[in-house]
Copies of this chain bind each other. A is one copy, B any other.
């Protein structure tokens, strides 16, 4: 129905794709702030006003790029997860986190576009929600499988968080205990804190060898959501690792 509906329609989707491609190129080269409709049009050999036939505004172009970025990140994470589908929840968790970091390092400007400061006056439309949810759903799935297998142990919730955690669990994963869902959502945000700090230069002169640092941090994150239950390492109260001054 929508395929080959005439040369005009085909040309339209072709030009639309070319615009996005060139915009993505400029995004990688200069960043979202310097994305210029005129420059994109110039590079494509057309005039700036012609672009408005395809994207009503610069923000709409940005929205399209945002959805593409979310999908690209989600795809990378899903592919990495598929490769370790047989492994335990801890390995799967780490694989997804590492894939997210790798993607972010490879496309820093696209990462900044979706997880950096939002453009003022611009609010992402609901269209972006499915693409934006992919990594999160992956993480939920890992915890769910772990829970189905042996259950996840989590710190008890403070009373003032109980109701909210139950609501979150009902929304995101009704088959998981509220404790696990709250811990998961927190870990989800913290994962992007780690990635963002490295990407945005906050680790400069602080963390040098980032890959093992990141792996260790997300491993502890897996701990935090209850994916690492049998291992006795790091249980509080042992008091190891203290070197006196």
Q: Footprint of B on A, CB under 8 Å? A: 30-34, 109, 112-113, 115-121, 123-124, 129, 147, 151-158, 160-161, 163-165, 167-168, 171-172, 175, 177, 179-180, 182-183, 185-186, 188-194, 196-198, 200-203, 205-209, 212-213, 215-217, 219-221, 223-224, 226, 228-243, 245
Contact = CB atoms under 8 A, between A and B. Distances in A.
Which 10 pairs show the lowest CB-CB distances between chains A and B?
Answer: A193-B193, A116-B117, A31-B120, A155-B234, A190-B190, A112-B117, A189-B197, A164-B209, A186-B217, A161-B212
Contacts of A33: 33, 119-120
A136 to B, nearest CB: 8
A219 to B, nearest CB: 8
Nearest to A153: B239
A106 B136 CA distance: 28
Contact of A156 (B189, B226, B240): B240
Given A154-B241, A206-B168, A235-B235, A197 B192 contact: yes
A164 B121 contact: no
A206 B140 CA distance: 13
From A121, A194, A213, A224, residue with most partner B Cβ within 10 Å: A213
B213 A220 contact: no
B234 A156 contact: yes
B236 A223 contact: yes
B196 A242 contact: no
Contacts of A129: 205
A66 to B, nearest CB: 12
A153 B240 contact: yes
A191 B196 CA distance: 12
Contacts of A208: 164, 167
